[in-house]
Amino acid sequence: MTAKELHQSFLAGEYRAVEIVEAFFQRIEAVESKINSFVSLRKEKVLEEAKQLDEKKLSGKKLGSLAGVVVALKDNMLCQGEKVTAASKILENYEGIYDATVVSKLKEADALILGFTNMDEFAMGGTTKTSYHKMTANPYDITRVPGGSSGGAASSIAAQQVPLALGSDTGGSIRQPASFCGVVGLKPSYGRVSRYGLMAFASSLDQIGPLAKNVEDIAYAMNVIAGTDDYDATVEEVEVPDYTSFLGKEIRGMKIGVPKEYFIEGIRAEVKEIIMKSIDTLKSLGAEIIEISLPHTKYAVPTYYVLAPAEASSNLARFDGVRYGYRSENSQNIEDLYINSRTEGFGDEVKRRIMIGTYVLSAGFYDAYFKKAQKVRRLIQEDFIKAFETVDVIVTPVAPSPAFQLSEQKTPIELYLEDIFTIPANLAGIPGLSVPAGLAGGLPVGIQFLGKAFHEGDLLQVGSAFEKARGDWKLPILD
């Protein structure tokens, strides 16, 4: 069932909340050993919460908009009294002392939180292989990566362990795994969803968003998690529409831009074929297809890999072995404590990005790298502003290729280039939606829709129209 169907069946009395939770745990127990989507589960606690929800329904009290819906959280969103680790040894025993705002909103909507999904350590990676805990597999082919860093969230939906999950997206970490795992994922505009309680990677780029089986469930989730928050000053005071009102609308007359810079050498032929066929589908629905240019796209990856590590080096300075988290036992003095705790607690990719970030922020290189990257970021943002003067939505691939082998040893640079189509949206602060478009050799390929800041509704409108035209999408059967 989709999240909406679960909610409706609960309201209609077809299933009790306890039955729903028990059914999903049976599914998790049946397939988790193959997929490894979850870091931790809340079985006893969520069953107790389900009993309370059943009692609330029997008493006739008003129910929330996600009552009866089970949800998974990425392992970087704080939940009071729960172990949340960002998939890092340095936080392996950390317990949240408050709820992230999105968690509070889910609880207010009567959603049932099953557990926390695996991810790349501190959201740094595109494979979920940098996790301290385990390696997650792609349900379409368990020898392949699920994408990252929200790989556990995407795989949990593709494996039908949950119908709805929350991930975070700093450079494509919702959209890329959504594409690899054949599910739908939305990165909202920067400032649309509160980041309070999200463990920071790069604060000017991070954004929480939903993953689900279809566009409709994304709209229902956004109705719950979007909006202002007194605890997060970066959330814009922009009116939140009813996102479900955009579903099922025609896209006839809508202008859709196709940027020539996104169809470059290096994109796999079968991926390009699926995207071009999808563009023809949009055209057949009455959309006007317009070629556009985003000339600074080629600078997006190097710009991102200056700015994101710089912010990471600053944000991760708090993990020093003193106040909380892992503390090295091999320390004779305070300097040893800092060095050894961080050396032993962080993984290789996190260390790599901290070192890059510290370098570009250092006195001799700040102007040459960080300051220049900020200027290029503005140019990338202006490219989108100019493009949206003539088009309503932009369509692109999500990734240059389908999911690759878990055993494949790509260099850091090769892995960074996997994000070439998703990073620009984060730098510009605009929303991006990944929707399954087709299969290449049995592996899912997603199409990406980009929109104006705070116009997620346009993406849901196009995404739902495309989804309907594409037809039913089959998730893998895991026996």
Mean pLDDT by 10 residues, the chain (479 residues): 98 98 98 98 98 98 98 98 98 96 98 98 97 98 97 98 98 98 98 98 98 98 97 96 98 97 87 97 98 96 97 96 91 94 96 97 94 98 98 97 95 89 97 98 98 98 98 90
The predicted structure's pLDDT at residue 477: 87
Q: How confident is the model at residue 77, as a pLDDT?
A: 98
Tell me whether residue 103 is in a domain. yes
Q: Is residue 164 part of a domain?
A: yes
Which residues lie closer than 8 Å to 417 by C-beta, 6 or more apart? 266, 301, 400
Task: Write down the pLDDT at residue 413.
Answer: 87
pLDDT at 26: 98
Task: Give me the phi and psi of 187, to 5 degrees please.
Answer: -95, 110
Q: For the segment 286-309, what is each residue's pLDDT rounded down to a tens digit?
A: 999 999 999 999 999 999 999 999
Residue 400 Cα distances to 101, 179, 264, 415, angstroms: 34, 11, 9, 11
Looking up residue 80, the CATH number of its domain turns out to be: 3.90.1300.10
Cβ–Cβ < 8 Å for 458, 430 = no
Percentages helix, strand, coil for the chain (3-state, rounded to 5) are: 45, 15, 40
Number of H helices, E strands in the chain: 15, 11
Cα 260 to Cα 245: distance, rounded to the nearest angstrom? 32
Number of domains in the chain: 1
* Beta strands across the sheet bearing 255-259: 38-41, 112-117, 70-74, 164-169, 207-212, 184-187, 432-440, 443-451, 393-397, 255-259, 288-292
Distance separating alpha carbons of residues 403 and 86, to the nearest angstrom: 23
| Average pLDDT for the chain | 97
Residue 198 and residue 196: Cα distance in Å, rounded? 6
Q: How many CB atoms lie within 10 A of CB 268?
A: 16
Interacting residues of 104 by C-beta distance below 8 A, sequence separation 6+: none
**Among candidates 27, 49, 123, which has minimal Cα distance to 419?**
123
% of the chain with per-residue pLDDT over 70: 100
* pLDDT value, residue 168: 98
Instruction: Give me 25's structure tokens.
Output: 């745990």
The residue range of the domain holding 67 is 3-246
Say how far apart CA 189 and CA 241 lie, in whole Å.
Answer: 14
* Domain-embedded: residue 163: yes
The answer to the question of residue 221 being in a domain is yes
Sole residue written with tokens 């850091």: 412
What is the Rg, in whole angstroms, of the alpha carbon atoms belonging to the chain?
Answer: 21
Residue 241: inside a domain, yes or no? yes
Whether 27 is covered by a domain: the verdict is yes
What pTM did the predictor assign?
A: 0.97
Query: 425 near 187, Cβ under 8 Å?
Result: yes
Q: What is the pLDDT of residue 292?
A: 97
Q: What is the DSSP letter of 403?
A: P
Give the active site residues. 74, 149, 173
| CA gap 185, 178 in Å, rounded | 5
Which pair of structure tokens corresponds to residue 359? 């370098």
**Which tokens sit at 303?**
């710009």
**Alpha-helical segments (H) within 114-214:** 151-158, 175-181
**218 belongs to a structural domain:** yes
State residue 458's pLDDT score.
98
Cβ–Cβ < 8 Å for 397, 449? no
Question: 336-377, pLDDT tens digit by residue?
Answer: 999 999 999 999 999 999 999 999 999 989 999 999 999 999
Three-state DSSP class for residue 454: coil
Instruction: Report which of 96, 77, 99 is spatially closest to residue 324, judged by C-alpha positions.
Output: 96
Q: In Å, how far are 10, 33, 170, 186, 214 from 460, measured between CA atoms?
A: 25, 34, 21, 9, 10
Residue 133 is assigned to a structural domain of this protein: yes
